[in-house]
Structure 1
Amino acid sequence: MGIRYGTAYWDLNADQAIFDTAIRTLAEGNSLRSTARIVQIDKDTACDWLDRAAQQSRRVMLYLWRELPLSECQLDELWSFVYTKEQHLEAAKLWCATYGDAWVWIAFAPVWRLVVAFVVGKRTQASANLLLSRVAHVTTASIPFLESDQLREYRTALLEVYGQWYQPTRNGTRGCYPKRRRQPPPDLLYAHVVKQREHGQVVAVTTKVVFGDVATVTARLEASPASTLINTSFVERDNLTLRQTNRRLTRKTNGFSKEVCWMEKQLWLSLAYYHLILPHASLRSEVEVPEPTRGRGSPRRWRPITPAMAAGLTDHVWTTTELLSYRVPVTFLDTLPTIEHLFPPFDSVHQGS
């Protein structure tokens, strides 16, 4: 049992095969109650197992997602809700300020198909600041080329995280000096995707360079292996993947989260499963010599690659058991309290979903 210490299997009073099946079922988008019915366990046991898997996924991702040499990043927000929708919030808000609309803020690396960072919160400046702070924490000192829609919170967040202080000049010789302000550094490149809508439908799409000059942005795009256009298509497609693989994010569902911490737990598990275990079709590479398969199957022509492999974080496709049994070095675990301002631990909520 000592080898299980520090993993999701520690002190697990259940068959490992059943536990692994339940976690795969949850990661594939099933609700807690349907998972409990599939593996024949109690719903509260499914909650406890989700918590175990989420804690493990969070530790593994925080350990692996470090010093990422990110060249391009797309930003977007995904709408959902907790407990009840915003228009039905009058009674619920007396109990908890996190009820109502819940936005999943996503920072996505299109080259690797990798979610670099995410935040679950309201559509506020604080959430945008936290997202960009997490991006800066897990990447190298080099600032990536950033793209987003016209949400103004992103511009302020970029200046808050990457901006440099400067002192504006004083008009005249009398009076106080203006307050210090932030300005973008020379290597900060940021562009908007501007969508024009009529009657709720997109009728035209244009782009706008916000930070940096057009020539530098054009050169960066021409060197990009993902796309030569300013766009947010990759992160928007990833939003669809999240909705398909996470019951809590389905638009019309009765499997929505009752507490925000459970939404975040499901996201940690879903993203770890997506990045480390599921090969991505667009990332596969062709093998030089087709490999034979068992039986009468056609030779294998493609090597499966996960987003984590594309980013150089792992060297093979993980199994569910590898994810749940991975032991994060204790030297890294000792540093987690120093980053709690960026990645606070889950709120302690008794059961619930």
Structure 2
Amino acid sequence: MNRLPLHKKVQIITLLVEGNSLRSCSRIADVSINTVTKLLVDVGIACQKFHDEKVVGITSQKIQCDEIWSFVYSKEKNVPDGMEDQAGDVWTWTALDADTKLMVAWNVGSRDAETANEFMYDVASRLNNRVQLTTDGHKPYLQAVSDAFGTQIDFAQLIKLYGGSEGTTSTERKYSPAECTGCKKTIVTGEPDAKYISTSYVERSNLTMRMGMRRFTRLTNAFSKKIENHCHAIALHFVYYNFVRIHKTLRVPPAMAAKLIKRLMTIEDIARLIPDEAPKKRGNYKKKEG
């Protein structure tokens, strides 16, 4: 069986985490797109497992949460009949440590109460102490945080107020965000410090996601075609972001700032997370006895 050499895996993974599409990776690395897709699946599964094992017992002080929109196969309004469970709008929920910039947890799903609960229980399971949590004004957070943390949290919501569209053209409204005219800080549970009620860092991480994953780039045909591959790409991105990529202000990867690792990891380390495959037997040949 042909096996992809390690240096080729490293090359393809490097291209993927730097925002290249699957087809551009296949052209640059001179391999088939099926090879790139299979590698994405294998490394995505390995990265999800690695994250679940390593990112636990976190001693954060401030956590910020947000959701980022994307879509799979088609936008919600264009989903074909019979594909309602496989296509449409997809939201990635993220929880970021405001001090170490560690991506503590993420969840891919709808923007509903069920996904909010799954996400918050995952966040709570990774934390080792009481934290100050800030989210946007999305209502499902209220019950989800209460169910996952009870009263053992200092929880506040930052509700941003946006101005109207008067004086702007249709093109400006389409390609530019609305102007933020103010913010309303609402304390929900505990005694959060008003000075740290913010979602700025996690919102900035949305840009990192759109720059680092081609399938998150708007107005292209590089969007995800399968939800499974979408999840694999996100897992790869966050393990690279947490453990390999050096943060500009921290001068170390977030995982090192959070004391989860003691040495710098490389993309080769990520490639080595993929378990070796057993050789496949071909045909029906049976060895004769005697």
If the length of structure 2 is used for normalisation, what is the TM-score? 0.86
Residues 42, 274 of structure 2: 8 Å contact kept: no
Aligned to 2:187: 209
Q: CA deviation at 1:314?
A: 0.7
1:101-133 CA-partner distances (Å, limit 9, x unpaired): 100011111111111111111111011101101
Q: Distance in 2 between matches of 1:318 and 1:233?
A: 27
1:119-148 CA-partner distances (Å, limit 9, x unpaired): 1111110111011011112222x2311101
Aligned to 2:116: 128
Structure 1: 5+ residue runs without aligned partners?
1-10, 164-184, 222-227, 285-304, 329-353
1:249 equivalent in alignment to 2:239:
no
1:66 equivalent in alignment to 2:13:
no
Q: CA deviation at 1:250?
A: 1.0
Aligned to 2:98: 110
Q: 1:14 to 1:311 in 2, by over 3 A?
A: same
Residues 74, 148 of structure 1: 8 Å contact kept: yes
Alignment of 1:231-270 (within 5 A): 231-270=198-237
Bigger mean CA offset, 33-42 vs 187-196: 187-196
Aligned to 2:283: none
Q: CA deviation at 1:208?
A: 1.4
Aligned to 1:149: 136
AA of the residue aligned to 2:154: L
Bigger mean CA offset, 233-242 vs 59-68: 59-68
In terms of Rg, which structure is larger? 1
Q: Distance in 2 between matches of 1:117 and 1:265?
A: 14
Aligned to 1:78: 68
AA of the residue aligned to 1:145: Q
- Paired residue secondary structure (1:258): coil
Q: Distance in 1 between matches of 2:159 and 2:224?
A: 32
Structure 2: 5+ residue runs without aligned partners?
165-177, 276-290
Aligned to 1:198: 163
Q: Distance in 2 between matches of 1:203 and 1:196?
A: 6
- Paired residue secondary structure (2:65): strand
Residues 117, 145 of structure 2: 8 Å contact kept: yes
Q: Distance in 2 between matches of 1:198 and 1:325?
A: 50
Bigger mean CA offset, 47-56 vs 239-248: 47-56
Alignment of 1:17-28 (within 5 A): 17-28=7-18
Aligned to 1:13: 3
AA of the residue aligned to 1:159: S
Aligned to 1:87: 77
Work out which of the residue numbers 310, 321, 324 in structure 1 matches 2:257: 310
If the length of structure 1 is used for normalisation, what is the TM-score? 0.71
| Moved beyond 3 Å, runs of 4+ | none
Q: CA deviation at 1:206?
A: 2.4
Q: Distance in 2 between matches of 1:113 and 1:229?
A: 15
Q: Distance in 2 between matches of 1:85 and 1:197?
A: 25
1:29 equivalent in alignment to 2:19:
yes
1:286-344 CA-partner distances (Å, limit 9, x unpaired): xxxxxxxxxxxxxxxxxxx110100111112211112222489xxxxxxxxxxxxxxxx
AA of the residue aligned to 2:136: D
1:200-259 CA-partner distances (Å, limit 9, x unpaired): 4211112111112xxx423xx6xxxxxx33110000000110010001111212110111
Q: Which has the higher contact order (CA 8 A, sep 6+)?
A: 2
1:139 equivalent in alignment to 2:114:
no
- Paired residue secondary structure (2:228): helix
Q: CA deviation at 1:12?
A: 6.8
| Percent identical | 30
Q: Distance in 2 between matches of 1:326 and 1:247?
A: 23
- Give RMSD over aligned pairs: 1.7
Q: 1:124 to 1:20 in 2, by over 3 A?
A: same
AA of the residue aligned to 1:238: S
Q: Distance in 1 between matches of 2:51 and 2:2?
A: 22
1:41-84 CA-partner distances (Å, limit 9, x unpaired): 11111111111111221121111111111221111000000110
